[in-house]
Amino acid sequence: MEIRGRTFLVTGGGSGLGAAAARLLGAGGGRVVVADLNREAGEAVAGESGDAASFVETDVTDPQAVQNAIDAATGDLHGVLNCAGVAWAERVVGREGPHDLERFARVVRVNLIGTFNVIRLAAARMTQNEPSASGERGVIVNTASVAAFDGQIGQVAYSASKAGVHGITLPLARELGRFGIRVCTIAPGIFDTPMMDGASEEVRESLHRQIPWPPRFGQPQEYAALARHVIENEMLNGETIRLDGGIRMAPK
C-alpha cells in the first residue's frame, strides 16, 4: 500500500513506538490520526506529523472512544498501527502473596482486548473502502513483544497479553483477506521507550549483553521503518515478525 494520500490510525501514538510510526507516516505524505490517553503528548506528536495529522483522546478498551478515533479519519481509513500498551512485572507468588488478579486482567484488557477492540471496529470501516488496483482495502499492524515467546519471570501478565496478540494475527489475516485487508504483527525486543525508563542501569546492561547484535536497545525509528515496510509490501500478511537483534531473553 502506498502511504502518500492514505489515512492511518496510530494507537499509543503519543510516545515511543507509536509516536515514531506516526511521524514517519506523516513524513511519507500520509494522513495520521494519533490516538492516545495523554492529550498533551498526543497533540505534540500530531503537530509533528504533518498538516493532515490530528489527535483524538482514546482509551483503546472503550468501544465508543475507539469509534470516535476511527470517525476522525478523513475519508477512507486505510491502515491501523496498534501501539497502545502497558507493562507490568509481578511474580505469581511473591512476598505479598499471589499475583493480584485485577492487575493481570488490566494488562490483558489493554494489550490484547484493546488491540482487538481497535481491529474489529477499524476492519468494519475498511471493508467499505474502494479497493486498490490489486484489490487491497487496508492493512493492520499490531505490536506484540518477544515476551510472547521468551517471557521472563514476573512477566506472566505481559507475556500472556502479547502472546494473545501474536495468536490472533493469522486467524485475522485469514478472515479479513476476503476483503483485501492484511494483518501483521511486529514483536519488538528491548526498545528504548518510556516503558524502559524505570529500569536500573544494572538491568539495562544485563539486557544489552543478551542481544547478539547490535548490543543496544532498539530505537523507535527502527520499529517505524519496519511498520512502513509492512504497509508497503503487499506480500506480508498473517505473520509475526521479531525485531530484536537476535535476543532470546533469559528467565530473569
Which spans in the chain are helix H?
Answer: 16-27, 39-47, 63-71, 101-108, 114-126, 147-150, 156-176, 201-210, 220-232
Active site residue 158: yes
Residue among 124, 122, 161, 125 nearest 140 (CA): 122
Contacts of 86 (CB under 8 A, 6+ apart): 106, 107, 110, 111
**% helix / strand / coil in the chain, to the nearest 5?**
45, 15, 40
Question: Which three three-digit cell numbers place residue 221?
Answer: 525509528
Is residue 110 classed as helix, strand or coil in its secondary structure? Answer: helix
Do residues 82 and 140 make contact, with C-beta atoms less than 8 angstroms apart?
yes
Question: Which three three-digit cell numbers place residue 195?
Answer: 516503558
| Catalytic, out of 8, 55, 158, 191 | 158
Q: Which is it for strands 93-94 and 79-82: parallel, antiparallel or unpaired? A: unpaired
Catalytic residue ranges: 158
